[in-house]
């Protein structure tokens, strides 16, 4: 069915109401479930046995180490969980919330594309934010439920299909909302923004920056989901490009300076003491050390689960602020704020998984082992059960009170190569650990400033 003739040369005085997209009930239900889901993931990550060790690098262990050290001064805000909760209960809660995010995110995008002829740019921007919030929080839940789904290819496949659908909507809509002819407070049809123009002189430089950053973040999120849901795909890629891996590793070592640094280190050891060449090799190592630290810091940040969660948190904060600023009295449609049946029902429908999660949490709390109760597996358990780790499978929320400087080292007792020796040498240095913590804090501060609009001024090119 063709759309009626568009009138893009004049702007209507009022925005037509669309409570199914811009209503308070829809917004509250979407954002409340998104934030509740993210809180569950963050609480789970805080416990040492919550995430598989292969999802944590040295920076992640260092961040957990810092959090445990802070407990000595501020106490633990979740001390009531210290009685232990089962991993099964946590995974059921997370899986329920994860599937909810897939359904809500896809439904909002289908709704706006089904009404592309008459939906305003104002409501299109709100729908984009709501769908993006669902896509973001689902990424966080996959980190927990991936182990639960690894033996069920069909379950992973249909969830991956949902993820690809939401990603396509988010990624394409990203170019629409940051195009030159799109105005988030306009009553014009969203079709007036087409054809998309991303190089026009009327587009603000801040919008170009945000477009690039958000596009990178959405692609990063998709790769993270693929990595967690289908790790075998990455294994196939490694096998496919296996002949190139040594060459790429060697090229990275040369570019980052690691190869030359290790070579200079070997030359220094083979040189006689007090010789001039020995001081020359030391000088070369001192020159190469700063770029090595920078390159290694970058790889740690990119592969860190903490930074991945940080990306999701900051993106969700920016999304929530974007919706809040869009719902200002000057631009909001009055009809959106009417509490009709659709908005009220959406709140209660999305609240059902929340209550289900609370029920599972309560059941896990009631079934927790009491003080003095034997924590070992029963003698009647099968041999398959005996092969599992008792602590990691039954005692997820168990606080580790023994914290030392080796806590965050990934494999402190393994036999390491020269590159691994360099990595352990860096993390054994207090100065490097402070440097990595400073980078994380600096990223947090800059992101807070960006979210508050201090770096996103509307300067016309």
Q: What is the pLDDT along the chain (461 residues), one digit of tens a residue?
A: 566 666 777 666 677 777 777 777 788 888 888 888 888 777 776 654 555 556 677 888 887 777 777 766 655 555 555 545 566 777 777 788 888 888 888 888 888 888 787 788 888 888 888 888 888 888 888 887 887 788 888 888 888 888 888 898 888 888 888 877 777 777 777 787 776 655 554 555 667 777 888 888 888 888 888 888 888 877 777 777 777 767 776 776 677 677 777 777 777 777 777 777 777 878 888 888 888 888 888 888 887 888 888 888 888 888 888 888 777 655 555 666 677 766 677 777 767 767 776 776 666 666 655 555 544 434 444 344 334 343 333 333 333 333 334 444 443 333 334 666 777 777 777 888 888 888 888 877 776 665 555 444 333 22
Same domain for 194 and 112?
Answer: yes
Whether residue 184 lies inside any domain: the answer is yes
Look at residue 274 in the predicted model and tell me its pLDDT: 72
Q: How far apart are CA 206 and CA 180, in angstroms?
A: 12
Give the pLDDT confidence score for residue 201 in this predicted structure.
44
| Residue 255 shares a structural domain with residue 353 | no
Residue 355 lies in a domain: yes
Half-sphere exposure of 8 (CA within 13 A, CB side): 15
- Confidence at residue 311, expressed as pLDDT on a 0 to 100 scale: 82
Q: Which residues contact 133 (CB under 8 A, 6 or more apart)?
A: 30, 31, 34, 105, 316, 319, 320
Same domain, 251 and 198: no
C-alpha torsion angle, residues 79, 81, 82, 88 (rounded to 10): -160
Rounded-to-integer distance, Cα 147 and Cα 232, Å: 13
Same domain? For 286 and 308 the reply is no
What per-residue confidence (pLDDT) applies to 448?
64
**10 assigned to some structural domain:** no
> Do residue 28 and residue 46 come from a single domain?
yes
Q: Could you tell me if 290 and 438 lie in one domain?
A: no
Examine the domain organization and report whether 252 and 364 are in the same domain. Answer: no
Question: Within a domain: residue 456?
Answer: no
pLDDT of residue 328: 61
How far CA 166 is from CA of 41, 110, 222, 364, in Å, comes to 20, 10, 10, 32
Look at residue 205 in the predicted model and tell me its pLDDT: 64
Residue 49 lies in a domain: yes
Residue 216 belongs to domain spanning = 19-240+304-370+392-451
Judge if 68 and 203 occupy the same domain.
Answer: yes
Identify whether residues 85 and 216 lie together within a single domain.
yes
C-alpha to C-alpha distance for 148 and 311, rounded to whole angstroms: 24
- Long-range contacts, 297-305 (Cβ 8 Å, 24+): 297/435, 297/436, 297/439, 300/57, 300/58, 300/59, 300/436, 301/59, 301/439, 303/57, 304/57, 304/59, 304/60, 305/45, 305/51, 305/55, 305/56, 305/57, 305/60, 305/143
178 and 262 in a single domain? The answer is no
Res 397: pLDDT: 38
Helix axis angle, 305-326 to 121-149, nearest 10°: 160
According to the model, what pLDDT value does residue 457 have? Answer: 38
pLDDT value of position 197? 57
Nearest CA-CA partner of 378 in 392, 394, 365, 364: 394
Contact 63, 306 (CB under 8 A): yes
385: in domain:
no
Say if CB 309 and CB 141 are below 8 A apart. Answer: no
- Per-residue confidence (pLDDT) for residue 392, from 0 to 100: 39
Pick from 283, 298, 313: which residue ends a domain?
A: 298
Establish if 51 belongs to a structural domain: yes
Q: What is the pLDDT of residue 341?
A: 66
Give a yes or no: residue 376 inside a domain.
no
Number of structural domains found in the chain: 2
What's the confidence (pLDDT) of residue 91?
74
Is the four-CA dihedral 350, 351, 354, 356 of positive or negative sign? negative
Asked if 137 contacts 38 with a C-beta cutoff of 8 angstroms, the reply is yes
- Do 292 and 321 have their domain in common? no
290 and 399 together in one domain: no
């Amino acid at each position: 069915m063709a759309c009626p003739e568009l009138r893009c040369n004049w702007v209507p005085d009022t925005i037509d109401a669309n409570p199914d997209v811009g209503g308070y009930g829809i917004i509250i239900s979407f954002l409340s479930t998104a934030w509740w889901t993210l809180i569950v993931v963050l609480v789970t990550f805080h416990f040492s046995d919550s995430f598989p060790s292969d999802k944590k690098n040295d920076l992640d262990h260092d961040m957990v180490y810092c959090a445990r050290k802070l407990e000595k001064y501020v106490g633990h805000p979740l001390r009531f969980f210290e009685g232990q909760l089962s991993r099964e209960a946590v995974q059921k809660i997370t899986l329920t919330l994860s599937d909810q995010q897939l359904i809500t995110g896809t439904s909002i995008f289908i709704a706006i594309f089904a009404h592309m002829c008459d939906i305003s740019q104002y409501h299109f921007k709100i729908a984009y934010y709501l769908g993006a919030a669902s896509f973001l929080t689902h990424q966080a839940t996959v980190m927990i439920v991936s182990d639960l789904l690894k033996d069920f290819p069909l379950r992973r496949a249909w969830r991956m299909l949902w993820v690809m659908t939401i990603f396509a909507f988010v990624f394409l809509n990203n170019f629409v909302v940051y195009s030159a002819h799109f105005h988030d407070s306009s009553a014009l049809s969203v079709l007036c923004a087409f054809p998309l123009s991303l190089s026009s002189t009327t587009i603000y430089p801040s919008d170009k920056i945000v477009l690039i950053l958000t596009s990178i973040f959405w692609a990063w999120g998709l790769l993270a989901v693929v990595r967690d849901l289908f790790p075998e795909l990455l294994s196939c890629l490694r096998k496919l490009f296996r002949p190139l891996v040594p060459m790429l590793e060697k090229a990275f070592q040369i570019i980052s300076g690691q190869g030359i640094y290790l070579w200079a280190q070997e030359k220094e050891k083979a040189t006689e003491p007090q010789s001039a060449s020995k001081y020359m090799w030391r000088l070369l190592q001192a020159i190469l050390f700063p770029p090595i630290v920078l390159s290694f810091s970058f790889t740690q940040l990119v592969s860190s689960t903490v930074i991945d969660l940080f990306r999701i948190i900051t993106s969700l904060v920016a999304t929530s602020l974007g919706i809040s600023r869009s719902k200002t009295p000057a631009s909001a449609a009055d009809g959106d704020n009417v509490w009709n049946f659709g908005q009220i029902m959406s709140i209660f429908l999305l609240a059902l998984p929340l209550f289900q999660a609370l029920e599972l949490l309560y059941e896990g709390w009631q079934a927790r082992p009491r003080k003095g109760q034997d924590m070992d597996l029963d003698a009647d358990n099968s041999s398959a059960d005996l092969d599992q780790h008792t602590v990691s499978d039954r005692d997820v929320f168990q606080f580790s009170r023994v914290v030392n400087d080796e806590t965050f080292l990934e494999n402190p007792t393994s036999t390491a190569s020269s590159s691994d020796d360099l990595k352990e040498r860096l993390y054994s240095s207090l100065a490097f650990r402070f440097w990595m913590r400073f980078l994380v804090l600096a990223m947090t501060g800059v992101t807070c400033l960006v979210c508050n609009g201090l770096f996103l001024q509307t300067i016309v090119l």
